[in-house]
Chains A and B, each alone.
Chain A
Amino acid sequence: MKIGLYSRLAWNNIKKNAKLYIPNILSGIGLTAVFYIILTLSKDERLSEVRGGSYLPTIMSLGVIVIALLSFILVLYTNSFLMKQRNQEFGLYNVLGMEKRHIGKILFWEMAICAICVLVGGLLTGMLLYKLCVLLICRMLAVNSILGFYHVSPKTLIPSASFFLALYLLTYLFNRIRVARMKPVELLQSTHTGEKEPKVKWLLLLVGIASLSAGYYISLTIEEPLQALELFFVAVILVILGTYCLFLTGSTAFLKLLKRNKKFYYQKKHMIAISGLLFRMKQNAVGLASITILATMVLVMVSTTVSLYAGIDEAIQRQFPHQLAISASYGVNGEYVPIPQEELLRMVQTSAAEQGLTLSYVEERRYLNCAFRREGNAFWIDIPNKHDKVISCLFITAEEYQKLTGEQLTLLENQMAVYAFPGNTGQTPDHFTIEHRSFTCAAALTEYPIPIEYLNSVDAFGFVVQNEEILTWIDALHKEAYQTNLSKITCELFLDFHDEETASQVFEAFADGLHKQISEYVASQPASNGSYGTSTSCKWDALASIYGINGTFLFLGLLLSAVFLFATALIIYYKQISEGYEDRNRFQIMQKVGMREDEVKNTIRSQILLVFFLPLIVSAVHVAFAFPILTRLLRLLFQPNQALFMGCTIVTLAVFAVIYVLIYSITAKIYYQIVS
């Protein structure tokens, strides 16, 4: 026998089994392309230099790991499926006199042909689509740059190619071992042996119920966003474990319970459906659980990343109601004293004029920002432990409040008006103590004139106090507790420029000019010790970085979702095929025993429908239970808007359901072709 024979045989085998091989090769091409794209994105220096692009390498490296894992699982899954379907064929070769090493050679050639198709096709597709992905990412980062040429880098081509080559070699190795172990007669008959009725494994059932409820419990009860971040992956793993266990045993237990009820069981529709499902669930439990997990991941990824991205402008608007906030102070005898407002404003105006900018809005706000440890209604200034419940508080005087809002508040010395920032998880107190001093809340405010930064992980409150004395008292508490001479009282200038676009472009020159002026001013002050500090926070910097993070997340989320969706479709497709071959027999027997063709079709269709839509239903339930913990996590990423997230989740679920139904109906056609 010549080498040519084996390659020809292998090629013929692939052609004959096109129904099985084409999806296998296509999925390989898709995975290789995505792997190459994500790897290249994580390494592309041109992109990390773009505004907001500095997060790309880190986030994309995460993506590479996910894709690598998924590829590993999917390639092995499709391979094992292919081999199972071809048992008989190999048995026949063996019986006809081919030695196992000859079959091994055929397997090698089949693997080689597949690998070549996948590598060439995948890398070419990847290179073609890379440009598109770059455009998309620039769009999501809100950057207008166009990176002209096609980027082809051997630095990422070679690792991508070798990773998938290694995967295919691994499948070959598995198949070779499989062939070495097979006994031809068994293989020839393997499809005729009956399946045992599944037994309920009670321990597994208990583990499943316990871990699923533990996962749900974590999501429902967690309050602190930071704690949520720590426990999120624990909850995810618990839910995955629970899903697998329950699909494996829960469904069987439920069906057996139904079977035990004889009156219910011995009815035309129920009897065939229940025992059919019992066996279907046994064979499909792992596949269905996998589909459920993939579907849940898609739903979570898309709904969170889309809502993050959609919430950017709102989050920015809340944290940065104005384009620029500046405060500056200088050292006098070991104390820091704010530069007087009119001086600072004069310097800002001069520097702005140098850059051709004019101000459209100016306002000074004076407030104290301080963090406390909260124990019920007692607020303590020291925070010894990183697991303590921390709140962030802003204080302004009633006088300042009236100046900024025009509203007059009448407060006693032991009274405060309180405002709870959106997204708080803890209760708003109606009376409380700071250290040992008691206050009551005289009024609940619906607005607060000072925006709070880093409203991400802790509860935040805004207070209005009666007089300046209380502010300085709190400031003194803080200075004492932290042994510092830095005051927590801030005088901040809030500014808007007429031309935001130009301002954002010439901002660096403006800031340089301002610094020069401030240092000159500080030098001219006799009491000064020469040191000064300024703090500027500007909207466009924040915009760039938030678009950078959220845009990158969105891109990765959508790309991975597309891949996961594809994986789901692939598993469903293979499932339909294997079910089809098995149902064909049953179909014929039932007709002989006296069921009408359309009755048989109906009962089988309803079983298939149930089996395929169960994952969709379960993943919707998972998403519903994940909702609380996800809202907490989104707060960490500056997205406290629950309604927006809810909307995104529902839309995602609806779109996903439509795609799922489409996948189902396309694959169902192949199923009916096989059955009839």
Chain B
Amino acid sequence: MAFLEVKSLKKIYTARFSGNQVQALSNVNFSVEQGEYVAIMGESGSGKTTLLNILAALDRPTSGQIFLNGKDLGGIREKELAAFRREHLGFVFQEFNLLDTFSVKDNIFLPLVLSGTGLAEMENRLNSIVQELGIADLLNKYPYEISGGQKQRVAVARALITKPQMILADEPTGALDSRSTDDLLETFRKVNAQGQTILMVTHSVKAASHANRVLFIKDGEVFHQLYRGEGTNEQLYQKISDTLTVLATGGEQR
């Protein structure tokens, strides 16, 4: 069985008063191997965010199953979900979601503190991660004192420090300028090279072109996928652009 296995996932939102139903995901199937770097692309309203929320266990599917490392996400009780998320998944958000009452260091520590890790162990993990991400001299600053790119690297450090099985990134480059975007994508590549599984939802062709594989979602289904193979980023970029053009002009391709 693959590392992450998504089987015939379906999500229907029902409006509370009118009873109108909106189908966000109709039938999603895919799998991710350990150490893979996968980008999920799609237009607004295609169901990307719904998919990510369900993968993050923030939302429950209407039907279908998800297995992470052989464990059925649907089988986890409500009370254990927060701990599960904390220990097995790392998150990187578009809006960084750093707490402005914590210093950079404390923001990175937060998930570990929540799981009750000892101080020595925390310092240990922190040191190696901040060196790698180049944020060692920011540790005592506060989120409002650093740039967007730096904030996002802090968020990555916070995601990595729990040694998660998979990192879920939601439009991680959405709020960054082009230089910071390059930095972050480089960071992701390095992290992935060390064996970290990454699943990234994005709009950006450039961001997606750094992944090993790109899934396209349209109308709640996986519509197409591209593999990098031996190609360069530029070649993958080109392929993604072509695919998007086909998607947008309504080509029937499966």
Contact = CB atoms under 8 A, between A and B. Distances in A.
A269 to B, nearest CB: 10
A596 B79 contact: yes
A266 B118 CA distance: 8
Interface in B151-197: 158
A266 B119 contact: yes
A267 B113 contact: yes
A595 B112 CA distance: 11
B113 A593 contact: no
Given A266-B109, A266-B113, A271-B106, A592 B119 contact: no
Nearest to A197: B142
B143 A275 contact: no
Contacts of B82: 591, 594-596, 599
Contacts of A262: 119
Contacts of B98: 589
Nearest to A594: B86
A1 to B, nearest CB: 38
B109 A194 contact: no
A193 interface: yes
A593 B91 CA distance: 8
B151 to A, nearest CB: 11
Contacts of A590: 99
Contacts of A599: 82
B113 A275 contact: no
B114 A595 contact: yes
A194 B97 contact: no
Interface in B61-113: 79, 81-83, 85-86, 91, 93, 97-103, 106, 109-111, 113
B250 interface: no
A593 B142 contact: no
B231 interface: no
Contacts of A593: 86, 91, 97, 110-111, 114, 158
B19 interface: no
A263 B119 CA distance: 7
A279 B101 contact: yes
Interface in A190-239: 193-197
Contacts of B81: 596
Nearest to A270: B113
B122 interface: yes
Nearest to A269: B113
Interface string A393-419: 000000000000000000000000000
Contacts of A195: 100, 144
B116 interface: yes
Contacts of B114: 268, 593-595
Given A194-B142, A197-B142, A593-B91, A268 B116 contact: yes
Nearest to A276: B101
A456 B79 CA distance: 67
Interface in B103-155: 103, 106, 109-111, 113-114, 116, 119, 122, 142-144
Interface size class of A (residues with CB under 8 A): 20 to 34
B149 to A, nearest CB: 17
Contact of B97 (A278, A279, A592, A595): A592
A268 B110 CA distance: 8
Contacts of A594: 82-83, 85-86, 111, 114
Most central of A263, A278, A596, A599 by chain B CB within 10 Å = A596
Given A266-B122, A594-B82, A194 B144 contact: yes
Contact of B91 (A266, A268, A592, A595): A592
Contacts of A591: 82
A586 interface: yes
A592 B83 CA distance: 11
Interface in A585-616: 586, 589-596, 599
Nearest to A193: B144
B113 A268 contact: yes
Nearest to A599: B82
A590 B111 CA distance: 10
Q: Is the interface of A mostly helix, strand, loop or mixed?
A: helix
Most central of A197, A278, A589, A594 by chain B CB within 10 Å = A594
A555 to B, nearest CB: 47
Contacts of A595: 82, 114
A194 B104 CA distance: 13
A487 B113 CA distance: 85
A592 B59 CA distance: 12
A503 to B, nearest CB: 74
Given A271-B106, A592-B93, A194 B86 contact: no
B85 to A, nearest CB: 5
Interface string B9-23: 000000000000000
Contacts of A275: 99, 101-102, 106
A194 B100 contact: yes
Nearest to A192: B144
Nearest to A262: B119
Contacts of B83: 594, 596
Contacts of A263: 119
Nearest to A598: B79
Interface string B213-236: 000000000000000000000000
Contacts of B99: 275, 586, 589-590
B123 to A, nearest CB: 9
Contacts of A266: 109, 113, 119, 122
B124 to A, nearest CB: 13
A362 B127 CA distance: 96
A56 B149 CA distance: 70
A596 B58 CA distance: 11
A268 B143 CA distance: 21
A348 to B, nearest CB: 81
Nearest to B97: A589
Contacts of B101: 275-276, 278-279, 586
Interface in A229-262: 262
Interface string A415-448: 0000000000000000000000000000000000
B113 A271 contact: yes
A197 B85 CA distance: 30
A664 to B, nearest CB: 23
Interface in A28-80: none
B160 to A, nearest CB: 13
A306 to B, nearest CB: 44
A599 B81 CA distance: 13
A195 B79 CA distance: 33
A196 B113 CA distance: 23
A275 B143 CA distance: 14
A268 B119 CA distance: 12
A192 B81 CA distance: 30
A284 to B, nearest CB: 14
Nearest to B78: A596
Most central of B101, B110, B144 by chain A CB within 10 Å = B101
A586 B101 CA distance: 9
Contacts of B93: 592
Nearest to B158: A593
Contacts of B79: 596
A592 B85 CA distance: 9
6 contacts: A194-B143, A263-B119, A266-B109, A271-B106, A589-B98, A592-B91
Given A586-B99, A599-B82, 8 more contacts: A194-B142, A194-B144, A197-B142, A586-B101, A593-B111, A593-B114, A595-B114, A596-B79
Interface of A: 193-197, 262-263, 266-268, 271, 275-276, 278-279, 586, 589-596, 599
Interface of B: 58, 79, 81-83, 85-86, 91, 93, 97-103, 106, 109-111, 113-114, 116, 119, 122, 142-144, 158
Lowest 6 CB-CB distances: which A-B pairs, in order?
A: A194-B144, A594-B86, A596-B82, A194-B100, A275-B101, A589-B97
